Amino acid sequence: MSTCESKAGSCEVTPNKAVAETPGGEKCMCEKECCIDQQMKMMMCAACEAKRQVMVDILKSKMQKAWGKKMEQTADAVMEALEAKKEAMVLGMKAKEGLKTALQGIFKDK
């Protein structure tokens, strides 16, 4: 039976027959009627992934409607904190360079 993996976006098919190569170079899981079972499994997996994507889109819309204002405020607060952190890092780097320059001046004179 096939297993849909939403993280990888792929479908893992467990072989139950010998694997043979088709003329196009694809793996074939059958012996005489080439690839029918494999194609059915892949289509079921694709349908599963499509259904998941539709559900994600629906949930996004509903969450935006229900929680959008609070999520926007939260995102604004996070952005302000990230900007402050970035500014602090820049100031820290400038202070470190200033210290390095000062130390070079001190040791250069000796």
Q: What per-residue confidence (pLDDT) applies to 55?
A: 98
Distance CA 105, CA 103 (A): 5
pTM score of the predicted model: 0.47
* Percent share of the chain, pLDDT over 90: 60
24 falls in which pLDDT band (50, 70, 90)? low
Res 98 pLDDT > 90:
yes
Distance CA 61, CA 63 (A): 6
Structural domain count, the chain: 1
At 26-63, the pLDDT tens digits run 565 555 565 788 888 899 999 999 999 999 999 999 99
Longest Cα separation, the chain: 87
The domain in which residue 28 lies consists of 2-109
Residue type, position 65, single letter = K
Contact 11, 41 (CB under 8 A): yes
The SS3 call for residue 12 is strand
The residues, any chain, with a CB within 8 Å of residue 77's CB and separated by 6 or more, are none
Q: What per-residue confidence (pLDDT) applies to 39?
A: 85
